[in-house]
């Protein structure tokens, strides 16, 4: 129920002590409030005039109790906020240090959900655990002690009821849980089904079925409602049990006290005291039961975030590299990588010297992107003997390598920032003139003219979505503004563009590649002739390498691939 990890957090001990102190104080005020009221009422019953002092004491205790809970909430709010923020910070640090390697393994969606919703759930979890659980452990105990002094028999009856409540809740809770879990599956099916229908609504319309489908959405929902109600009938039994035993206990105690009073075994004052205390005695467990499910989510999120933070760091190698020059060499021998699902890449061996344009070609799934990720250091090879500028390494995850690298994927990311910030991303000091020049050279003038606030217009997701070609141009403009980066890595930059845009972009890209070391993965054939050297991938293997002419002479897989891609063997 409670994560021990939670108490290892900085400051947990001190807040725990303070909160426990407040809870004890609160319990005293609860007892005080009950005693004062019982005393006022019993005096009135006896026909005495209203005891104002006692009535004020009651009100004062009541207010003090509320004040304490206000104070407690305020303390917890601050503490849980701080802890959650620290957790988020650690997580973000991790994400922004390991980058692509972590994102690929965990998925962007999961990382974002964890650092936003997950952290919020943890905050709730901490608040609940520290307030409700602590209250449940301290307040009923002290109230029980108070009741012992009033009437030990009644106190014992109430004590016996407590585990009974817990027991029934657990039994009924378990019965409900199995059905609830099944139902949760149903729920997901339904909500997926609903979203599914919405997503496919255009397909339904194209097929002329959309109007009729409306009825089936309703019927499906109704079916779900009936099933849900069947489960709720069981699931709510556990709350019913809790309610039933608490109110019944109070009723029993009242009747029991009534008999004792009749027999003169007890006076009115302690009897009233017990009656007033009884609901407060049960209150903490009722509060906790209501929030029990919320704690489960928080607990899981807390565990998951801690796992993420504690993942082993990606291996980096802090080699001191010079800026890549015409004499520099990269030698790779027996580079191998295996995905968790078992797909193998390699062994890959290759040698590069100076400023070369190296094409990487192959069908989808042949390992082009994996090779690109290994070369750029986003993935760490299982094994490799790499020699870079004469220095040995087993990974390309080298900060000094990445500092001189430009990486342009199929769909470059455009930040929700101004056009200026987006283009000057790698060189924030660039002047407006330089930025405008980059825009002009990359053919973004039309976009700039279209933007209401020029360079300061915010673009990107949710603001102004750019076309694939425009995103590519932005990425190229970024590269153009940072010419110190001598290594360029492209991953199918034009695969999804229309042919005219592609040809236009090619004209703008070729000058950028001058005097650079370029790795260029593509399956668009016209690029290959521009390459100095070509790596041919098939099923994760590097099956051929050489210049375009050499490969043509070889009449090997490369030629077959080219023919297939041109659609020359139409018989298949």
Partner 1 sequence: MINKIPVLRALKNDRWVRPYLEKYRKTLILAIALGILTFVCGGGLMFCAGYLISRSAAKPENILLIYVPIVLTRAFGITRPAVRYFERLVSHNWVLKMTSKFRQQLYDSLERDATIFNSKYQLGNILGLLSDDVSHIQNFYLRTIFPMFVAWGLYAIIVIGLGIISPLMGIWMLILFFLIIFAIPIWSVLINGARQSYEKTVQDKLYVDLTDNVMGVDDWILSGRSKEYLALHVNDQDKFLQINAKMKKFDRWRDFVLQIFWVLVIVSLVIWGAARFGGRSTYYTNWIAAFALALFPTVEAFASLPTAAQETNIYKDSLKRLNNLPAPDQTKHKPIKLTAPFNLVLTDVHYAYPQTNKEVLHGINLNIHDGEKIAILGRSGAGKSTLAALLRGDRVPTKGRVTLNGIDTSKFGDQMSNYFSIINQTPYLFNTTIANNLRLGNEDATDEQLWDVLRRVGLAEMVQKLTDGLDTKVDEAGLRFSGGERHRLALARILLKNTPIVLLDEPTVGLDPITEQAVINMFIKELSGKTLIWITHHLQGIDQMDQVIFIEDGQINMQGTPEKLWQTEPRYRELKKADLGL
Instruction: Please identify, among the stretches 6-14, 135-143, 199-207, 379-387, the one whose residues bind partner 1 according to the rule CB under 8 A.
Output: 199-207
Binding to partner 1 (CB under 8 A) within 150-169 occurs at none
From candidates 160, 195, 326, 510, binder to partner 1 by CB under 8 A: 195
From candidates 2, 50, 137, 311, binder to partner 1 by CB under 8 A: 50
| 479 near partner 1, rule: CB under 8 A | no
Specify the residue, 318 or 392, whose C-beta has the smaller distance to partner 1: 318
Q: How far is the CB of 203 from partner 1 (least distance, A)?
A: 4
Instruction: Please identify, among the stretches 22-30, 239-247, 383-391, 431-439, the one whose residues bind partner 1 according to the rule CB under 8 A.
Output: 239-247
Instruction: Please identify, among the stretches 95-103, 166-174, 177-185, 332-340, the one whose residues bind partner 1 according to the rule CB under 8 A.
Output: 95-103
| Beta-carbon-side half-sphere exposure of residue 464 (alpha carbons within 13 Å) | 17
| 88 near partner 1, rule: CB under 8 A | yes
How far is CA 537 from each of CA 130, 359, 363, 369, 534, rounded to the nearest angstrom? 57, 11, 8, 10, 10
For residue 537, is it left (φ>0), alpha (ψ between -120 and 50) or beta?
A: beta
Binding to partner 1 (CB under 8 A) within 276-335 occurs at 276, 279
Q: How far is the CB of 295 from partner 1 (least distance, A)?
A: 20
Rounded to the nearest angstrom, the gap between the alpha carbon of residue 47 and the centroid of all alpha carbons in its chain is 65
3-state secondary structure of 227: helix
Specify the residue, 193 or 394, whose C-beta has the smaller distance to partner 1: 193
Q: How far is the CB of 205 from partner 1 (least distance, A)?
A: 4
| 444 near partner 1, rule: CB under 8 A | no
Binding to partner 1 (CB under 8 A) within 364-423 occurs at 364, 378, 402-403, 405-407, 409, 413, 415-416
Number of residues that bind partner 1 (CB under 8 A): 147
Q: What angle do CA 476, 480, 485 make, to 5 degrees?
A: 105
Going edge to edge, which strands form the sheet with 405-408?
405-408, 487-491, 517-522, 357-361, 533-538, 541-546
How far is CA 271 from each of CA 151, 159, 264, 384, rounded to the nearest angstrom? 8, 16, 11, 82
From candidates 53, 145, 181, 255, binder to partner 1 by CB under 8 A: 255
* Ranges assigned E (strand) in 395-507: 405-408, 487-491
Q: How far is the CB of 570 from partner 1 (least distance, A)?
A: 6
Residue count (the chain): 572
From candidates 5, 177, 191, 351, binder to partner 1 by CB under 8 A: 191
Q: Which two tokens stand for residue 251?
A: 């009723």
Supply φ then ψ for residue 337, to 5 degrees.
-150, 140
Q: How far is the CB of 336 from partner 1 (least distance, A)?
A: 24
Task: Name 43's Cβ contacts closer than 8 Å, sequence gap at least 6.
Answer: 50, 51, 54
Binding to partner 1 (CB under 8 A) within 107-146 occurs at 108, 111-112, 115-116
| 96 near partner 1, rule: CB under 8 A | yes
Specify the residue, 233 or 392, whose C-beta has the smaller distance to partner 1: 233
Q: How far is the CB of 299 from partner 1 (least distance, A)?
A: 22
How far is CA 118 from each of CA 99, 301, 308, 310, rounded to the nearest angstrom? 19, 5, 12, 16
| 171 near partner 1, rule: CB under 8 A | no
Which residues on neighbouring strands pair with residue 434, listed in sequence order? none
| 64 near partner 1, rule: CB under 8 A | no
Specify the residue, 286 or 333, whose C-beta has the smaller distance to partner 1: 286
From candidates 2, 13, 53, 89, binder to partner 1 by CB under 8 A: 89
| 19 near partner 1, rule: CB under 8 A | no
Instruction: Please identify, among the stretches 131-139, 211-219, 324-332, 537-545, the one whose residues bind partner 1 according to the rule CB under 8 A.
Output: 211-219
| 232 near partner 1, rule: CB under 8 A | yes
| 217 near partner 1, rule: CB under 8 A | yes
d(CA 549, CA 532): 10
Q: What is the per-residue DSSP string for 543-556?
A: EEEE-HHHHHHHTS
Binding to partner 1 (CB under 8 A) within 492-551 occurs at 495-503, 506, 523-529
Where do runs of H (alpha helix) occur along 200-345?
Answer: 201-206, 210-262, 268-309
| Beta-carbon-side half-sphere exposure of residue 82 (alpha carbons within 13 Å) | 10
Q: How many CB atoms are located within 10 Å of the residue 525 CB? A: 12
């Amino acid at each position: 129920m409670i994560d021990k990890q939670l108490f290892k957090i900085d400051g947990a001990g001190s807040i725990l002590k303070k909160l426990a102190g407040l809870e004890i104080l609160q319990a005293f005020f609860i007892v005080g409030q009950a005693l004062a009221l019982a005393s006022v009422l019993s005096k009135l019953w006896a026909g005495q005039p209203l005891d104002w002092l006692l009535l004020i004491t009651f009100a004062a205790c009541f207010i003090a109790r509320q004040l304490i809970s206000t104070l407690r909430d305020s303390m917890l709010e601050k503490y849980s906020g701080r802890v959650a923020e620290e957790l988020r910070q650690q997580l973000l640090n991790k994400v922004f240090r390991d980058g692509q390697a972590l994102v690929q393994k965990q998925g962007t969606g999961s990382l974002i959900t964890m650092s936003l919703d997950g952290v919020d759930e943890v905050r709730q979890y901490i608040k609940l655990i520290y307030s409700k659980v602590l209250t449940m452990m301290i307040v009923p105990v002290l109230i029980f002690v108070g009741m012992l002094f009033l009437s030990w028999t009644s106190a014992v009856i109430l004590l016996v009821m407590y585990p009974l409540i817990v027991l029934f809740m657990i039994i009924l809770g378990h019965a409900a849980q199995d059905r609830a879990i099944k139902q949760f599956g149903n729920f997901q099916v339904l909500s997926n089904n609903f979203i599914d229908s919405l997503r496919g609504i255009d397909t339904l319309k194209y097929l002329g079925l959309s109007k009729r489908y409306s009825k089936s959405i309703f019927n499906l929902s109704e079916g779900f409602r009936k099933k849900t109600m069947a489960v709720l009938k069981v699931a709510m039994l556990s709350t019913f049990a809790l309610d039933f035993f608490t109110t019944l206990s109070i009723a029993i105690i009242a009747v029991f006290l009534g008999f004792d009073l009749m027999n003169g075994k007890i006076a009115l004052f302690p009897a009233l005291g017990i009656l007033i205390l009884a609901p407060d005695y049960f209150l903490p467990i009722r509060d906790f039961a209501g929030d029990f499910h919320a704690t489960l989510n928080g607990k899981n999120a807390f565990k998951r975030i801690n796992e993420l933070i504690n993942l082993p760091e990606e291996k980096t190698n802090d080699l001191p590299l010079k800026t890549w020059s015409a004499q520099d060499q990269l030698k790779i021998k027996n580079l191998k990588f295996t995905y968790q699902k078992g797909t193998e890449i390699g062994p890959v061996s290759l040698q590069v010297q100076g400023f070369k344009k190296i094409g990487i070609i192959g069908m989808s799934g042949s390992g082009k992107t994996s090779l690109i990720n290994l070369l750029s250091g986003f993935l760490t090879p299982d094994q490799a003997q790499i020699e870079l500028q004469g220095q040995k390494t087993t990974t390309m995850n080298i900060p000094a390598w990445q500092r001189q690298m430009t990486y342009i994927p199929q769909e470059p990311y455009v930040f929700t920032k101004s056009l200026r910030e987006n283009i000057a991303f790698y060189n924030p000091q660039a002047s407006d003139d330089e930025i405008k020049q980059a825009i002009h050279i990359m053919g973004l003038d039309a976009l700039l003219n279209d933007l209401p606030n020029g360079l300061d217009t915010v673009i990107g997701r949710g603001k102004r979505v750019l076309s694939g070609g425009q995103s590519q141009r932005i990425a190229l403009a970024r590269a153009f503004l940072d010419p110190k980066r001598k290594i360029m890595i492209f991953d199918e930059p034009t695969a999804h563009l229309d042919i005219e845009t592609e040809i236009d972009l090619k004209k703008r890209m070729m000058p950028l590649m001058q005097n650079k070391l370029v790795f260029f993965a593509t399956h668009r054939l016209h690029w290959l002739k521009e390459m100095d050297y070509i790596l041919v991938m098939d099923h994760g293997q590097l099956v051929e390498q050489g210049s375009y002419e050499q490969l043509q002479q070889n009449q090997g897989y490369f030629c077959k691939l080219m023919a297939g891609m041109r659609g020359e063997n139409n018989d298949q």
